[in-house]
Structure 1
Amino acid sequence: MTDAQYVASRRSLWCGVAALFTDGRGRVVLEDVDYRPACLLPGGAIDAGEAPSLAIAREVCEELGLMRRFAAVLAVDWIPPGTPGYPPGFPGEVVYVFDGGTLTEHDFSQVRLPGHEVTGVRRIEPALLPRHMDPGDARRALAALRARINGAGPAVLEDGRPQIPTPSDDLQVLRTPRKPQLWPWRTSPPVPVELPVKQAWGWLFAEDGRVLVLIGQDTGSACLPGGTVEPTDHGDPARTLRREAWEEARVRISDPRFLGYLLDDAGGLPCARARYAAQITGWEAPCRDEATGQTYSRLLATPEQTAQLFDWGDEAAAQLAAVHTAREELGLPAPIRQPISELPPPELADGSIAR
């Protein structure tokens, strides 16, 4: 086969790029366009001979008026021929999804739309992407967002579906809308006596400095271990945390250290939602939480990865600073960023049981 014959034998293929931007609350930035009813991530087609990183920078500049450089790819997706919404003869397409990072309010103020094609910009809660996008596009965006949080490198997708799913993919994390928790963060101990403590949640550390985050198997929703202060806790939120950590996650912990609290002043009845830090000292196989009927999967993540699973807004930074101070006081190492993983079985390397 000559070079000309070889070139002629290669099938044509479309190539495209998209950028995953989020705002300070973790909502995904989408574009309204005038040529289809569904929203899209910023992006478009790669021109002949154009590098993908240059194509996404050009598209973002043309569509949003923002000058950006893109180096990290979150996902590479194969869209097969015959996918609904594409014209007859569509040969299939490879789409590179780049990490656009977090846009600040100043960034949004600098957005300039072109006056054609792109008619508006929306910020969408991740779980609601399927309401605003075509199914394959929503799958791709969610897979790319999970890949960003997971930090394991680009996800290889086919029609938006990961070929090697992570625990976050298997659990379909972020498939249920997050509850905004935009309350002010307070670090001054103790909680004022006139302010009732309604809930106690814990940042529970493993030996490598990562923390435990619980994912509802029925919902994909994330939560820190903890819950509502009950009468049986005798007004002691630390006792609440120890009880809830066992009931929800079957983990035992060291004495909790007070970190601070969220001041919930909504509804005219202010209360405190306390945060504690403790070290995991043992655990058993998970089981159903009798109080809620929920079974939780137990994942280990860095504090920063954990925060990306919640809608905490600007208050997240101060809380994370308190978490790392507590970690240092516990004598634990700064966690190495790595893929989110499940808490291992309770059997230790020497065959004993963590109790």
Structure 2
Amino acid sequence: MHSRTTAGTDRVHVLQTAVVVTDSDGRVGLRPAGERLEPFITTVRGGETPQDAAVRTLVHLASPRATPGRLLAIDWTAPTPDTTGSAAIVHLYEGQVTASHCAELEADGQIQFVAPGDLDNALPPLWACRLLAALHARVEGTVTELDHGRPRHPGALDRHRILSGRAQAAEGKWMPCERWDGTPTNVRGWLFAPDGRVLLLHDPTTGRTSLPGGAGGEDPAISLGVVSATTARATLSQDREVVGYHLLGDEATASVVARLRVLGPLVPAPCAPLPIRLLATPRQARELVPYAAVTRSELEAVMHLAHSEFELPSADCRPIAEVPCTGGVL
């Protein structure tokens, strides 16, 4: 075990590295250990850096060519006055493993993927907190500083524990406009702010995050305007365009691209908490909504339409922003 003693104290600091591997659906890879699961964690050896330990872990898991991605989080965990032991400094790195190799590892029983919302049931609380914070940092392109697994400077994802309620959605089929003609059962909006980010709604009761949407109709663009005003207090521009349809069983959901003009103040409903309105890049939105709810083909079609027809900029990866309850003009 690699440890260091801080000057002026007899406390010993144990250095550890964890590798956070995710599959194409955003599920977290854990290592089977008998009847339980554990993170891919290793103790930093003498002469190693935390990144060296991450490389060693990935080489053992994947292949000699595997390399860790960027640093996601650093956690400091000290023993309490009532306990004995060492303080731990844990570096959490993103693990870069291809989708095909993830499937092979899962088939061989070397890794088991669990949804972010299942981390609390699969791991001790401290590790569940660490990994959820690392997933947030992965989505936002940041590095987060943790204290006993809790972010020192929590953002919107941390405050509302977004991803912890991400549900498994049934696999649907994406159909471009020119290949499907019918009346959609539902409608949902890719509502773009001027900077290229889109609006998401987070339900604090269910823990689910989604694109604004609701019941459809013969004219999806009109339906979206009604739904957006009701669920998100959003006023849209008149230039709205259906980009395609998400087909699931007998239901079809029309995806409509539109511009956000105004987000009005949220109105409290009896016995129901206010929804949380978030602004995220389109790629971040796909990572935060339920699995399979947005296919890669839909994301590509939406972004192409937003850039070519609506002339909106590409939003840079950044921390998710929470829109105030009072709203505002965009």
Partner of 1:252: 235
Partners of 1:166 and 1:90 lie apart in 2 by 31
How far is 1:8 from its partner? 7.6
Partners of 2:259 and 2:171 lie apart in 1 by 26
Identity of aligned residues (%): 27
Instruction: Spell out, residue by residue over 1:301-348, the C-alpha distance to the aligned partner (whole angstroms, 9 max, x if none).
Output: 100011101244496221111111221211211112211112357676
Q: Which moved more, 1:17-26 or 1:59-68?
A: 59-68
Contact 2:184/2:220 (<8 A) preserved: yes
Q: 1:324/1:206 Cα in 2 relative to 1: closer, same or farther (>3 Å)?
A: same
How far is 1:180 from its partner? 1.2
Aligned residue runs from structure 1 range 61-72, under 5 A: 61-63=59-61, 67-72=65-70
Q: SS of the counterpart of 1:176?
A: coil
Contact 1:201/1:276 (<8 A) preserved: yes
Instruction: Give unpaired runs (5+ residues) of structure 1.
Output: 114-118, 349-353
**Structure whose CA Rg is larger:** 1
Contact 1:46/1:55 (<8 A) preserved: yes
Q: Is structure 2 residue 257 aligned with structure 1 residue 277? A: yes
How far is 1:81 from its partner? 1.2
Aligned residue runs from structure 1 range 1-355, under 5 A: 9=9, 11-34=11-34, 38-63=36-61, 67-82=65-80, 89-101=84-96, 103-109=98-104, 120-151=110-141, 153-189=142-178, 191-193=180-182, 196-229=183-216, 235-255=218-238, 256-265=240-249, 270-288=250-268, 293=272, 295-313=274-292, 316-328=295-307, 329-343=309-323, 354=329
Partners of 2:273 and 2:128 lie apart in 1 by 27
Normalised TM-score (structure 1) = 0.82
CA RMSD of aligned residues (A): 2.8
Instruction: Give unpaired runs (5+ residues) of structure 2.
Output: none
Report the count of equivalent residues.
Answer: 324
How far is 1:134 from its partner? 0.7
Higher strand share: 2
Q: SS of the counterpart of 2:111?
A: strand
How far is 1:78 from its partner? 1.4
Partners of 2:316 and 2:260 lie apart in 1 by 18
Contact 1:204/1:278 (<8 A) preserved: yes
Q: SS of the counterpart of 1:55?
A: helix
Partners of 2:288 and 2:178 lie apart in 1 by 27
Q: SS of the counterpart of 1:209?
A: coil
Normalised TM-score (structure 2) = 0.88
Partners of 1:157 and 1:74 lie apart in 2 by 10
Partners of 2:6 and 2:111 lie apart in 1 by 44
